[in-house]
Copies of this chain bind each other. A is one copy, B any other.
Amino acid sequence: MRVAFQGEPGAYSEQALHKYFEEEGIRVEGVPCESLEDVILEVESGKAPGGIIPVENSIGGYVDRSYKLISQGNVYVNGEVYLRVRHSLLAIDGADLSQVDTVYSHPQALKQCREFLFDLEVETRATYDTAGSAKMVKKKKDPRLAAIASKFAGEKYGLKVLMEDIQTAGNNHTRFLLVSRETRSERMACENYKTTITFELGDGAGSLYECLAPFAEKDINLTMIQSRPTETGRWEYHFDLELEGHRKDVPVNSAIAELNQLVPEVQVLGSYPRGKVS
């Protein structure tokens, strides 16, 4: 199965999609895309039956525009996967840590490894992405150059791992959602489900509170809430909400129906088996 992801081959998103589908026992091929918009387009057009979108990081918070892109696209959320982000220092075969004088990576990855890089006393250069840096280091064939990316990216480009786990914060996880053109309608009894919905609200007092009432009254656990500016320039907000349960479960179904009476539109992005944090 072809699954679209944003980034160069070897990106953390590609690693996450392998993790997800291997757990499901499905062989996949990652389709690299330049932007998250392109991931959605690949799925909408049917060129790739699936796509993966990062939505949340345990250090950085929400990923730019992810929920917005999913809700605007003609796609559904059918899965969730957590990936622990572990940065490695990669160089060409034969290179030695003491030779390295320049390290390439995305500004965020460089920041996350700041202490390691400071001790190493090297120059750092910002790039578009982590895997792209690995690709470039491979191409340049210079043992003085290294990239910060995943071990997975290192394997992809035949690079040597000079050092593993060089990030400062230990608990760096990213949560991804799997999207596809069709919604997976079956609900398996053995699974714990989550459902993602999105809706827009006026700026009225108490109205968010009113919107949450149907869920509270039915003891439905909310796992995430986010207000997100609409693009009207008036700083009105969309709300992205995640809750425990499947949209076909009676309490979830009727809570969403009640919410539908309170706001212009509720969009159910999908129900999916809860991913494991590991």
Residues of A within 8 A of B (CB): 35, 56, 58-62, 64-65, 68, 106-108, 111, 126-128, 169, 171, 173, 175, 203-206, 208-210, 212-213, 215-217, 219-229, 231-235, 237, 239, 277
Alpha-carbon separation in the docked complex, A208 to B61 (Å) = 19
Q: How far is the CB of A37 from chain B (nearest CB, A)?
A: 10
Q: Which residue of B has the minimal Cβ distance to A110?
A: B128
Q: Which residue of B has the minimal Cβ distance to A170?
A: B233
Alpha-carbon separation in the docked complex, A50 to B209 (Å) = 35
Determine which of B205, B206, B212 lies in contact with A208 in the assembled complex, contact meaning CB atoms within 8 Å: B212
Q: Known interface pairs A111-B35, A213-B209. Does A58 touch B231 (Cβ–Cβ under 8 Å)?
A: yes
Q: Which residue of B has the minimal Cβ distance to A243?
A: B205
Tallying the copies of this chain within the complex gives 2
Check A209–B215 contact: CB distance below 8 A: yes
A171 partner residues in chain B, CB cutoff 8 A: 231-233
Q: Which residue of B has the minimal Cβ distance to A232?
A: B171
Check B206–A209 contact: CB distance below 8 A: no
Check A205–B216 contact: CB distance below 8 A: yes
8 further A-B pairs in the complex, CB-CB below 8 A; given A58-B233, A205-B222:
A58-B235, A61-B228, A64-B108, A106-B126, A173-B233, A205-B219, A208-B225, A235-B277
Q: How far is the CB of A83 from chain B (nearest CB, A)?
A: 13
Q: Known interface pairs A107-B128, A173-B233, A277-B235. Does A221 touch B204 (Cβ–Cβ under 8 Å)?
A: yes
Check B209–A212 contact: CB distance below 8 A: yes
Determine which of B128, B206, B227 lies in contact with A215 in the assembled complex, contact meaning CB atoms within 8 Å: B206
Q: How far is the CB of A215 from chain B (nearest CB, A)?
A: 7
Check B58–A229 contact: CB distance below 8 A: yes
A206 partner residues in chain B, CB cutoff 8 A: 215-217, 219
Alpha-carbon separation in the docked complex, A127 to B213 (Å) = 46
Check B203–A221 contact: CB distance below 8 A: yes
Q: How far is the CB of A97 from chain B (nearest CB, A)?
A: 24
Q: Which residue of B has the minimal Cβ distance to A220?
A: B205
Alpha-carbon separation in the docked complex, A219 to B228 (Å) = 22
Q: How far is the CB of A274 from chain B (nearest CB, A)?
A: 11
Determine which of B59, B173, B226 lies in contact with A65 in the assembled complex, contact meaning CB atoms within 8 Å: B59
Check A65–B58 contact: CB distance below 8 A: no
Determine which of B108, B208, B224, B277 lies in contact with A237 in the assembled complex, contact meaning CB atoms within 8 Å: B224
Check B227–A224 contact: CB distance below 8 A: yes
Alpha-carbon separation in the docked complex, A198 to B123 (Å) = 38
